[in-house]
Chains A and B, each alone.
Chain A
Amino acid sequence: MSTIAAAHPPEIRERRYLLDREGVLGPLMLLPAVVYIVALVGFPLGLAIAYSMSDVTVGDQGLDWVGFRNFVDVAKNGTFQKALRNTFIFTLVSQVLVLTLANILALVLSADFKGKRLVRFLVLLPWTTPIALGAIGWLWLLDPVYSPIDWVLRQVNLLGPGTIFGPRGNMYWTAKADLAQLSVLLIHTWRTLPLATVILLAGLTAIPQDVKDAANVDGAGFWRQLIYIRIPLLLPIMAVATLFGMVFTFTDMTVVYVLTRGGPIDNTQVLASWAYFKGIEGGNLAQGAAIAMFLFPVLAGVAVLMLRMARRTETT
């Protein structure tokens, strides 16, 4: 010790002791993450709150305080009410579909069969495609007049005069309110299904082999194993997949913007797209921010749930 003390001057020794203290080193190591979160999450969130309580416009960025007036004005608007309802419906229904289909796909993909790698690649493809590109592809597939899906339906005599979907020669996917909503819903399902499948696949492979062996020895069939073993053991991981899917779907505006621009008659408008049209295209930034702020309680709730689950996983 005396050798070290002699080799280093007192100020360096002091600094080393400072860094050895947990109360100093810990916050120091956390600082980059805190700065990152404040800059990329905290600042935009604070700005959005400030915008939503001001009369800011795209052209005039001065923040004059108006309290909750924007929220009241926005809530009275019929299009906003439709957007709010659609956002919840698209998110919840698509995630129910995703969860069901992802379970089936994960089970199929966990089995051994020829061409498994190719099938896995194809299942993952929608997730690797940029959403804007995918949505444009769907825009062409669902074109009101030149839809290839319509063409197939016509070829197999399901569409046209005297057929089940007739009498017109087109379904008008994006032009009829119910079909446009269904289209948006299915595209969200198509987009988030691969992520959920991969998460569940990882969960399935994590089920201990001895549990499966014990079930087999006890003579439990497929359904019994699914209901009493797989699903209960997969529940935490299913919740993770659902929460991720909810965040992606709840905040997405690309699908609606590209496919329907909120139409027909605002029947596919969602909070994110309506915030964009009002705030950016209409120049009414304050109301756009107020609309977007309605996403916040749900996202905050989902974030709390995710953190709780992460903590529970750590402790078990």
Chain B
Amino acid sequence: MRGRTPVWGTGISRRTLLKGTGAAALAAAMGPQLKARATTFQTPTVNISGTELKILQWSHFVPTYDTWFDNFVKEWGTANGVTTTVDHINTADVPAAIAAEISAGQGHDLIEHIVPVAQYGPAMLDMTDVVQEMTNRHGPQLDLAKRNSFNPTTNTYYAFNHGYAPDPANYRKSLWEQAGLPNGPATFDELLEGGGKIMNEQGVQMGIGMSNEVDSNMAAQAMMWAFGGAVQDENENVVINSPETIAAVEYMAKLFETAMTPEVFGWTAASNNQLMIAGQASYILNSISAYRTAQADQPDVAKDVFFGTPLVGPAGPERALAHGHAVFNYMIPKHSKFPDTAKEFLFHLVANYDQAANESKLYNFPAFPSTVPNLTQEGGPLDNDPFGSEPANKLAPLKTAEQWTTNLGWPGPANPAIGEVFGSFILPNMMARTARGEMSAAESVAKAEQDTLPIFEKWRSQGLIGGGQ
């Protein structure tokens, strides 16, 4: 226990303090680089020695993160006498794994998924105490992180959100320059006009999915927001059937006719990444993972990929929003044998979040901004990408991500009903029906409402969502 005596009653050991101080000095000398310090170990608040921690999580889109994470967990386990296991599975398989473990009443102690799954909330421990302790240690959690993990109806945190990945626009600069928009489109009108020009004159389509996959869900929701529509209001009442949503669906149909090919109806979640990496897309909505892959596999394409903030639509700049491309939610199932161990690990992860951001090549943004203090500062890593962007400030548009990233189901919370709406692909199909000419926008939106209402009623009857007055 030498070197692990808490200092000034803070719970931080002398060793931690010394390491932290040394690392801070080192970081100061690193200039614009992300200040990833050596790992700090804090004395656990409860005795966890001799316990076990089994983690199940998605295979990260940036593979270096998983390599780092596995070692990070192992080191923490060794330092605290905890036996650790980490299992990575494809993100699409996580819901089935969670369902199976809940049903069996046994499995992992900590499960991470990148989409809020409030529908699994009743089987998870309330993480309010974790959020409170994290707030005490690191300052306030981002509002978007809270909204992606908190159910106001049950007043519980069904998950603990430690970060998110922004969902900017990815565009090919050379193509948009020729269309007269060297910095890419800033509004939906420019997207339609410029995208059409590129398609007609340069033969390159854009890629916004309308398929049964998660990216299409997010794109449809962002478009509805920009046009003033939403699936639900602040009080969790269904408001999808509105003139604003109809306008968004009409716009999407026009965009498809002007600048896309039918492939967008048959996409998987990886398809827009593949199209961009292959140099076949003028514009997609995605995180930076496709770009990071292109840097390694198609450097010429990567040099031409630039990023933009969400487009402004008829509802104005305040509704130019994007869903977090991934929201990193850890859940502790009620069947976990060692929930305290799981919570202690979360404290450790957040305390070292600068490493998480660094090892994910700036894919992971923190839910507690103080843990990666220089991330969005002037001259920080987004202004001077340590991972070889040309120009180095290519990621600068992400500095404002916190302002334009919001939760699943905004302006309401990320509740179970919204989870099922996403799981049933109601939104991309609503867009696709009109784009394919099968229904008018008004008919398609009415059908989406017809599919959505019973879902909300069902979860409301279970006492898991509000509204209904």
Contacts and interface: CB of A to CB of B under 8 A. Distances in A.
A176 B96 contact: no
Contact of A61 (B102, B213, B429, B433): B102
Interface in A240-291: 260-266, 276-278, 280-285, 287
B266 A282 contact: no
Contacts of B280: 145
A198 B240 CA distance: 54
A265 B432 CA distance: 7
Interface string B406-436: 0000000000100110011100010011001
B432 A261 contact: no
Contacts of A116: none
A86 interface: no
Contacts of B419: 282-283
From A60, A276, A283, residue with most partner B Cβ within 10 Å:
A283
Contact of B451 (A77, A281, A284): A77
A58 B265 contact: no
A265 B123 contact: no
Interface in A58-103: 58-61, 73, 76-79
From B99, B212, B425, B438, residue with most partner A Cβ within 10 Å:
B212
Contact of B267 (A144, A173, A265): A144
A197 interface: no
A58 B102 contact: yes
A266 B425 contact: yes
Contact of A260 (B99, B121, B266): B266
A180 interface: yes
Interface stretch (B243-251, B256-264, B353-361): B256-264
Given A58-B119, A260-B212, A264-B265, A283 B416 contact: yes
A172 interface: yes
A79 to B, nearest CB: 7
Contact of B433 (A139, A172, A265): A265
A175 interface: yes
B266 A144 contact: yes
A287 B96 CA distance: 16
Contacts of B213: 261
Nearest to A285: B99
Is chain B's interface secondary structure helix, strand, loop, or mixed overall? helix
Contact of A57 (B211, B278, B462): B462
A170 B260 CA distance: 13
Interface in B266-312: 266-268, 271, 274-275, 278, 280
Contacts of B451: 77-79
A189 interface: no
Contacts of B432: 263-265
Contacts of A59: 102, 119-124, 416
Interface residues of A, number: 41
Interface string A163-196: 0000010101111110010000000000000000
Contacts of B119: 57-59, 282-284
Given A264-B211, A277-B424, A176 B99 contact: no
A57 to B, nearest CB: 6
A60 B211 CA distance: 30
B425 A280 contact: no
Contacts of A57: 119, 122, 416, 462
B103 interface: yes
A76 B211 CA distance: 23
B461 interface: yes
Contacts of A261: 211-213, 268, 425
B122 A60 contact: yes
A278 B462 CA distance: 16
Contacts of B268: 139, 261
B375 interface: no
Contacts of B462: 55, 57, 60
Contacts of B424: 79, 277-278, 282
A172 B103 CA distance: 39
A300 B272 CA distance: 43
Contacts of A176: 262, 265-266
Contact of A263 (B98, B274, B420, B425): B425
A265 B261 contact: no
B423 A170 contact: no
B454 interface: yes
Nearest to B94: A281
B95 interface: yes
B447 interface: yes
A176 B438 CA distance: 12
Interface string B200-236: 0000000000111100000000000000000000000
B88 interface: no
Given A61-B103, A172-B263, A265-B436, A277 B423 contact: yes
Contacts of A173: 266
B461 to A, nearest CB: 7
B145 interface: no
Contacts of B212: 260-264, 266
Contacts of A283: 99, 117, 119-120, 416, 419-420, 423
Interface string B111-147: 0000001011111100000000000000000000000
A278 B423 contact: yes
Contacts of B433: 265
A284 B420 contact: yes
A126 B71 CA distance: 40
Nearest to A266: B429
A280 B98 CA distance: 9
B263 A73 contact: no
Nearest to B95: A281
Contacts of A174: 266
A52 to B, nearest CB: 14
A6 to B, nearest CB: 56
Interface string A126-144: 0000000000000100001
A165 to B, nearest CB: 13
Contacts of A139: 268
Contacts of B454: 73, 76-77
Contacts of B425: 261-263, 266, 277
9 contacts: A58-B103, A78-B450, A144-B267, A168-B261, A176-B265, A260-B266, A264-B432, A283-B120, A283-B419
Given A61-B103, A144-B263, A170-B263, 19 more contacts: A55-B462, A58-B99, A76-B454, A77-B454, A79-B451, A145-B263, A146-B274, A176-B266, A261-B425, A262-B212, A263-B266, A265-B438, A266-B429, A277-B423, A278-B423, A281-B96, A282-B423, A285-B99, A287-B458
The 8 closest A-B pairs by CB, nearest first: A283-B119, A175-B266, A144-B263, A174-B266, A282-B423, A281-B423, A282-B420, A264-B265
